[in-house]
Structure 1
Amino acid sequence: MQAVDPDLWIRRFHPAGPASARLVCLPHAGGAASYYFPLSRALSPGVEVLAIQYPGRQERQLERRRETVAELADEITEVIRPLADQPLYLFGHSLGATVAFEVARRLEGADVKLARMFVSARRAPGLNRNQRVYERSDQELIKQIRSLTGTAPDVFDDPEMTAMVLPAIRSDYKAAETYVYAPGPKLTCPVTALVGDTDPMVSAEEAVAWSEYTDGTFELRIWPGGHFYLETHAADVVSTISAGMPA
């Protein structure tokens, strides 16, 4: 595999102290590193937030899109492995949670100890709903995205903007929906699962099942809301992350 350039993948939005813990944040399908700007602002300077920018969006618009979780995880692992000289945490939302899990498996397989993994709005790895939204028409894909209220409604009112963002969204959906869990050793790090109580993409039971994938401690946090519950409970999410990152 060709060497991966960290500067392409990692965004740092705010300064952090020299001894700060590091929180690597992985976006949802169609999401970008900038989604984590508010979280970075809230946690700085005590925590260094490293937001991952997937190829195929924003300033990486012209790069080849990745359409499997495995490929994303391989490259992200290579990028962040040298950063484990300080306490390293992962946070992934939706697709990002599955990517975070596979990154965690790769890191622990290379004897890199993770401090904790936060998985948001995503069912446990072995639970597959056999959805194939990525194969639907543009109109049906847009309808699905609107139903989750994670994208500004006016984005898809602009044909040029739609043409720009939809390919990356479709590729991300393909990565999420074609992911197949391969049995292997459990993680050793603690896991915190976060979910909205009316999320159509994951039930509380499907979130609790994350506990079966680690020998570390497990915590489940549930808030009122749907797939993007964290946007209306931002302060609570920040508090939960901070509590899981002891000084």
Structure 2
Amino acid sequence: MQCYPAPSPKRWPQRLEPLIQAVRDAGVQDATIFHFPDAYEMTGEGREPWSTYVDLLVGEINKAAGDKDRPLLLFGHSRGAAPATCVAYRLGTRVKKVYIAACGAMKAHEPTGWELLSQRFKEGGDRDLLKWFSSIQPGNLLLRRTAFETSPREFEEQTTSSKMMADMLHVMRSQYRDAMYPDPDRDFGCMPVPIMALSPLHDESCQPEHCQDWELLTSAGFQLETVDAGHMDCLMPQQEEISIPADVESESPLLPQGGAMIWIARALAKVQALQHSKGKCELFEKICKDFQQFLH
């Protein structure tokens, strides 16, 4: 199982660890994460260097697999769909299936969304980058405030004084604005590899109708699935709803007096229980169930 994450090579290995563990538990012997060009110190822009990046990925895959003929399953999330698709196009039937999450369809002979984003971001500034990134992480209130609500002076201060913001902007510039991207006439097209596209229903940019045209890139079968999640959190195990522990009652001598304080204490107990519960990830479950067909 080869995984292509998005967007930051420093953070996504941790984010994808639950998926890696899930596919191992489901019977896949080896699972490996690959990254975007900047993680391999590739700095070119535009369409031309993309094929060299795919060459590099194929070499890394063969090295990890230990055999250039070993069958593969590929997974790509968001922009990771681009390298996953292009590697599958390059390797053909060696790839048993491509799983694509949270990405509208790429179309042969048309500029990809990543090319259009790069052009758009070059016309704007850093605030446009953060506004777009905030749109796919609606729960990140700090990011939203910085992108939408700060004055020009506050924006400059926050993006220079905060290491987190500075690192985020660096990643956004290198992976989205000053980026390389596939040549739609050279690097991908219809291929003899099955595709499963997974649409997170809380992501307005990746609704089922945006993902349906992935079927045009395969001659070997297409599935469209949905998950009840957003763009980023579709990769995160969701905590299951549980009842408040029976011993947390309003008459408990351990709770403070007063209705408001009792409610807060009960809510805190529930949060603590949730933090120690093990949730399930709908996306992981659908992928792991599907690829069982290739393990026998």
Q: Mark yes or no: TM-score above 0.5.
A: yes
Deviations 1:191-226 (A, max 9, x none): 100111242333312211011111111111112333
Higher helix fraction (1 or 2):
2
Query: Which letter maps to 2:220?
Result: G
* Residue number in structure 2 paired with 1:24: 2
Larger radius of gyration: 2
Q: Cα RMSD over matched residues?
A: 3.0
Q: Confirm or deny: 8 A CA contact 1:187 1:215 kept in the other structure.
A: yes
TM-score, length-scaled by structure 2: 0.63
Alignment of 1:211-222 (within 5 A): 211-222=215-226
Q: 1:220 to 1:107 in 2, by over 3 A?
A: same
Deviations 1:117-174 (A, max 9, x none): 0011112211645344532322221122122118966687662232233222222214
Alignment of 1:31-70 (within 5 A): 31=9, 32-45=12-25, 46-47=27-28, 48-54=30-36, 56=38, 63-65=41-43, 67=45, 69-70=50-51
| Alpha-carbon distance in structure 2 between the residues aligned to 1:86 and 1:178 | 27
3-state DSSP of counterpart to 1:118: strand
Query: Which letter maps to 1:161?
Result: M
Give 5+ residue unaligned stretches, structure 2.
147-157, 239-279
| Alpha-carbon distance in structure 2 between the residues aligned to 1:213 and 1:175 | 27
The structure 1 segments of at least 4 consecutive aligned residues displaced by more than 6 Å after TM superposition are: none
Of all paired residues, the percent bearing the same amino acid is 24
Q: 1:88 to 1:179 in 2, by over 3 A?
A: closer
Structure 2 residue 148 is matched with structure 1 residue 145: no
Q: 1:55 to 1:186 in 2, by over 3 A?
A: closer
Q: 1:175 to 1:88 in 2, by over 3 A?
A: farther
* Residue number in structure 1 paired with 2:184: 181
Higher strand fraction (1 or 2):
1
Give 5+ residue unaligned stretches, structure 1.
1-22
Q: Confirm or deny: 8 A CA contact 2:121 2:128 kept in the other structure.
A: no
TM-score, length-scaled by structure 1: 0.74
| Alpha-carbon distance in structure 2 between the residues aligned to 1:35 and 1:66 | 27
3-state DSSP of counterpart to 1:74: helix
How many residues are aligned here? Answer: 218
Higher mean C-alpha displacement, 97-106 vs 179-188? 179-188
Q: 1:217 to 1:175 in 2, by over 3 A?
A: farther
3-state DSSP of counterpart to 1:134: helix
Q: 1:52 to 1:153 in 2, by over 3 A?
A: farther
